[in-house]
Amino acid sequence: MEFNLQIKNQAGLHARPAAMFAQKASSFKSNILIFKDGKNGNAKSIISIMGLGVKKGDTLLVKIDGPDAAEAGAALKKLVDDKFGEE
């Protein structure tokens, strides 16, 4: 499955939200990749996520492949929609 996520929290994917995103992604068996501006990263790696330099208003393409892809997609969308609990 593929879908776009627009980052809504004020500071973008700095350390804490990147850690939350990686932790949530790691709780699923599926392979999860994120893409931004021609770069991609493993959604289960905080270093990989932070390397993308995601800021408020940026849109990520998320590609999920695996047995629990639907659940993983829903969980990651909810995390982003809830602004990582920041606001």
Which residues are part of the catalytic machinery? 14
Helix (H) or strand (E) holding 19: helix 15-26
Token pair belonging to 75: 């969980």
Q: CA distances (Å), 14 to each of 46, 50, 53, 68, in order? A: 10, 7, 8, 27
Rounded to whole angstroms, the Cα distance separating 32 from 87 reads: 26
